[in-house]
A and B are shown apart, each in its own frame.
Chain A
Amino acid sequence: MKLTLKIWRQKNTSDKGGFVTYVADHVSKDMSFLEMLDVLNDQLTERGEDPVHFDHDCREGICGMCSLYINGKPHGPLQTTTCQLHMRSFSDGETITIEPWRAKAFPVLKDLVVNRSAFDRIIQAGGYVSINTGGVPDANEIPISKTIADLAMDAAQCIGCGACVAACKNASAMLFTSAKISQLALLPQGQVERKSRAENMVAQMDEEGFGACTNTGACEAECPKGISITNIARMNREYFSAVVSSDNM
């Protein structure tokens, strides 16, 4: 396969950046998308050009490190992570446009690498149960119905890749934030801090400069883990009932 790659290049956060076009020759259909970029990078290095920087780590679809907005969609044409996308999803002669995630809260560090630490700060605002190591009850002393455990697990599967933000026309982080709020709101362990968690995590999400939700459902459609927007509805419920009933002024 021979492909034309239109790739966003940007030296650092303050650089303006722009597209550079490359030709990728002899691309095998069995390559993963990132392997195709690996090969391109080796060629660039041999030619004395700076290789294209992109985030990636586990390459098995679970760490959430890879990103890339490929041909107008986060993680490319399939509902998987970019590392699980293979070149057989493209056709010979195609032009592929590769951009970084675009959001004020995710500034570009270099080329296709963005800073997603805003997500960490949202979790730090309350995405935990405040218990110390040791001194906890026996695991089976907290029975949890299978249905609830399964629902919590559905939400907990989020890999924090940011595709929801990238897909959303408003660069909203509601799906990410709601997944964690939901998981802990569903489980008995999360009840004690339920109200303040919802209030604080939403406040942090806003503070980071993410957009609001228009309920387009794009996040859900692009989420590689299939996190549902019912979680956003649950977050809204949690938040509204928290603000009217909590003791936080």
Chain B
Amino acid sequence: MTWVTKTLNSTLGRKLIMALTGLFLILFLTGHVSGNMLLFKGDGGQAFNIYAKFMTTNPAVKLLSYLTYISVLGHIIYSIALSQHNKSARPVPYSTSKGSSNSAWSSRNMGVLGTIILIFLVVHLQGFWAQMHWGEVPMITYEGEEYKNLFLIVSEAFKQEWLVALYVLSMIFLGFHLSHGFASAFQTLGLNHKKYSPAIKLVGMLYCILVPALFASMPLYIHFSSY
């Protein structure tokens, strides 16, 4: 083993990967939520469709998207490896355990939350991302240029109440996942200082509420405005 693999196989190295991929995904979410805000523009989806085309064709964005796929995969694979390792560290469980008295629920259930988010992700990607890439999306023309009308797909999809409910619910889970994950990533990177940690915690709290709330408001907005 070289020093690189040795490091990445250590408990600390694996945590480092979780933290770095997690932080990258947080960055991704920030971009994602900002772009999707165009759904609220009320222009029949024009801005959103133009933005969608840009996101699927621009080479720089492409590079970022590959990084995102790697991050998602890395985050998942390492979380499975870590969970297994952690499970094996306590082969006989306690009969009674009061975790609630010393730690937050979300911090003890990141794996569960992550799994739920993963299931959501599959549904979400299948519904929009795969459609956009390989599906039959009706075309629309703005100022002589053709665009895929992803907005139509989105607004059709969110007419279904169950899907809206699934999205809102999933965003609540995402919120809990982020409520621990955000500050936790900084702690893993070793960034814990009495001057800065309170700020990191505060930003983390705002982030885990604001971003999932904005995401959740999109299907709700589309669902109710289309009536």
Check: A56 CB closer than 8 A to any chain B CB: no
Check: A167 CB closer than 8 A to any chain B CB: yes
Per-residue CB contact flags for chain A residues 96-107 toward chain B (1 = under 8 Å, else 0) read: 010100111100
User: What residues of B have a CB within 8 angstroms of the CB of A218 in the complex?
Assistant: 99, 102-103, 108
Kindly provide the distance from the CB of A195 to the nearest chain B CB, expressed in whole angstroms: 12
User: What residues of A have a CB within 8 angstroms of the CB of B165 in the complex?
Assistant: none
Check: B220 CB closer than 8 A to any chain A CB: no
Question: Residue of B at shortest CB range from A19?
Answer: B95
Contact across chains for B90 and A213 when beta carbons are under 8 A apart = no
Using known A-B contacts A103-B90, A212-B85, determine if residue A73 contacts B95 with beta carbons closer than 8 Å.
Answer: no
Stretch of A40-48, A58-66, A81-89, A201-209 on the interface side: A201-209
Question: Residue of B at shortest CB range from A219?
Answer: B102
User: What residues of B have a CB within 8 angstroms of the CB of A238 in the complex?
Assistant: 190
Interface size range on A against B: 35 or more
Contact across chains for B187 and A222 when beta carbons are under 8 A apart = no
Check: B107 CB closer than 8 A to any chain A CB: yes
Q: What is the total of A-B residue contacts with beta carbons within 8 Å?
A: 136
User: What residues of A have a CB within 8 angstroms of the CB of B190 in the complex?
Assistant: 233-238, 240
In A232-249, the 8 Å CB interface with B consists of 232-240, 243, 248-249
Per-residue CB contact flags for chain B residues 99-129 toward chain A (1 = under 8 Å, else 0) read: 1011110011010000000000000000000
Using known A-B contacts A104-B88, A210-B89, determine if residue A239 contacts B12 with beta carbons closer than 8 Å.
Answer: yes
Using known A-B contacts A212-B14, A212-B15, determine if residue A236 contacts B94 with beta carbons closer than 8 Å.
Answer: no
| Interface residues of chain A: helix, strand, loop or mixed (majority) | mixed
Using known A-B contacts A73-B101, A236-B190, determine if residue A169 contacts B108 with beta carbons closer than 8 Å.
Answer: yes
Docked pose: A210 CA to B86 CA in angstroms: 8
Check: A230 CB closer than 8 A to any chain B CB: yes
Per-residue CB contact flags for chain B residues 175-198 toward chain A (1 = under 8 Å, else 0) read: 000001001100111111110000
Contact across chains for A105 and B10 when beta carbons are under 8 A apart = no
In B9-23, the 8 Å CB interface with A consists of 10-12, 14-16
Docked pose: A171 CA to B87 CA in angstroms: 9
User: What residues of A have a CB within 8 angstroms of the CB of B194 in the complex?
Assistant: 230
Contact across chains for A249 and B89 when beta carbons are under 8 A apart = no
Considering only CB atoms and an 8 Å cut-off, how many residues of chain B contact the other chain?
42
Using known A-B contacts A72-B96, A236-B12, determine if residue A215 contacts B188 with beta carbons closer than 8 Å.
Answer: yes
Check: A71 CB closer than 8 A to any chain B CB: yes
> A214: which of B91, B96, B108 is its contact (CB, 8 Å)?
B108
Per-residue CB contact flags for chain A residues 158-173 toward chain B (1 = under 8 Å, else 0) read: 0000000001011110
> A240: which of B12, B86, B89 is its contact (CB, 8 Å)?
B12
User: What residues of A have a CB within 8 angstroms of the CB of B82 in the complex?
Assistant: 212
User: What residues of B have a CB within 8 angstroms of the CB of A12 in the complex?
Assistant: none
Using known A-B contacts A102-B94, A169-B99, A172-B89, determine if residue A233 contacts B187 with beta carbons closer than 8 Å.
Answer: yes
Contact across chains for B88 and A214 when beta carbons are under 8 A apart = no
User: What residues of B have a CB within 8 angstroms of the CB of A103 in the complex?
Assistant: 89-90
Check: A226 CB closer than 8 A to any chain B CB: no
Contact across chains for A229 and B192 when beta carbons are under 8 A apart = yes
Contact across chains for A102 and B92 when beta carbons are under 8 A apart = yes
Using known A-B contacts A202-B12, A211-B90, A248-B3, determine if residue A216 contacts B98 with beta carbons closer than 8 Å.
Answer: no
Question: Residue of A at shortest CB range from B106?
Answer: A216
Using known A-B contacts A97-B95, A218-B102, A236-B12, determine if residue A211 contacts B85 with beta carbons closer than 8 Å.
Answer: yes
Q: List 13 A-B contacts (CB under 8 A).
A: A103-B89, A169-B86, A171-B90, A212-B12, A218-B108, A221-B103, A230-B192, A230-B193, A232-B187, A240-B12, A240-B190, A249-B2, A249-B3
Give 12 A-B pairs besides A171-B90, A216-B108, A243-B3 with Cβ atoms closer than 8 angstroms.
A72-B96, A99-B94, A105-B89, A169-B99, A169-B108, A209-B89, A212-B14, A215-B107, A216-B99, A217-B102, A217-B103, A217-B104
- What are the nearest 9 A-B pairs in CB distance? A237-B190, A233-B192, A211-B89, A72-B98, A170-B86, A221-B102, A216-B103, A212-B11, A236-B190
